[in-house]
Amino acid sequence: MDIILPCWIIFGLLRAAHMAPGVKQTPRHKITEMGQPVTLRCDPISGQQNIYWYRQTAEKGMEFMAYLLDKTPTDKADFFRDRFSAEKPEGSYSNLKIDPVQLGDSAMYLCASSAATATHRHFLSL
């Protein structure tokens, strides 16, 4: 008899407590099974329309994922295809979706916002 063990993927979102105004990311923590979809939300600082998504892993460190000015990414990393998508459905907040989640997706996902175009392949001050 085979025993099937669930494989859980843990997503972490950086959130600065007691700092206002700031970028708000939800959910703060997410644990899911492999093969399931995950959607992460980023609410930028009021008046800032440029949104940047990054992920941080122990193996690769911080990686640029996508930059959004309009409803769909203007620029994205090479690995950002197939299972990853990002959008700004209402023109203000952004959703990052991973579908389906795989074991290597366990990471801390970060978003940042800015009012002016910045060099988005480099780290922004968080």
Provide the CATH number for the domain around residue 54: 2.60.40.10
**pLDDT of 56-104, one tens digit each?**
999 999 999 999 988 888 899 999 888 999 999 887 899 999 999 998 8
Q: Is residue 58 assigned to a domain?
A: yes
Using omega within 30 degrees of 0 as the cis cutoff, is the peptide bond preceding 21 cis?
yes
pLDDT at residue 117 in the model: 59
Q: Is residue 70 assigned to a domain?
A: yes
Q: CA-to-CA distance for 38 and 99, rounded, in angstroms?
A: 7
Q: Is residue 4 assigned to a domain?
A: no
CB atoms within 10 A of CB 101: 21
Q: Where are the beta strands (DSSP E) in 1-126?
A: 8-13, 24-26, 29-33, 38-43, 50-57, 61-68, 73-76, 84-87, 94-98, 107-114
Name the residue with higher pLDDT: 46 or 122: 46
Q: In the chain, how many domains are there?
A: 1
How many helices (H) does the chain have, and how many strands (E)? 0, 10
Q: Is residue 16 assigned to a domain?
A: no
Q: Is residue 81 assigned to a domain?
A: yes
pLDDT > 70 fraction of the chain, expressed in percent and rounded: 75
